[in-house]
Amino acid sequence: MLQPLTVVLLVASGLLGLLAAHHLLRGHLVDDPLIIVGAAIELALVVQLVVGLTKASAIDDGAERATFIAYLFTVLLVIPATIVIAVKEKTQWAMAVVLGGALVVAILVARLQQVWSLNV
């Protein structure tokens, strides 16, 4: 995997989490900066998907390879789902969902890196 891309994704997820926490504490709803950060994360995750799929054959263990590929696809669904929920939910708790989504993305990206580093 690309170590710099992993670092960028972890930092961007942290930024999204901080932005969502700020909105949660202030009682704000979804706004353009939050959606832009989410879209940037999603674009980086698509790049990670392509790179990961091209390099997945380097993982010898079939079960670990399947886990790795499942994480690659699963992490793509988190940000869009949380943003849609946040747009539909008109209370401040929508930001708690985005905060949780940012945390899930960070955990999945870290786990992807862990699976990669343990098997290659």
Host domain of residue 93: 3-119
29 phi and psi, to 5 degrees?
A: -100, -175
Pair 109, 72: CB distance under 8 Å:
no
92 phi and psi, to 5 degrees?
A: -70, -20
How many structural domains does the chain have?
1
pLDDT in tens, 28-43: 888 889 999 999 999 9
pLDDT in tens, 81-113: 999 999 998 887 899 999 999 999 999 999 999
Q: Alpha carbon of 118 to those of 44, 81, 112: distances in Å?
A: 23, 30, 10
Mean pLDDT of the chain: 91
Greater model confidence, 43 or 118: 43
pTM over 0.85: yes
Q: What's the CA gap between 82 and 79, in Å, rounded?
A: 5
pLDDT at 37: 94
pLDDT at 71: 93
pLDDT in tens, 52-73: 999 888 888 888 899 999 999 9
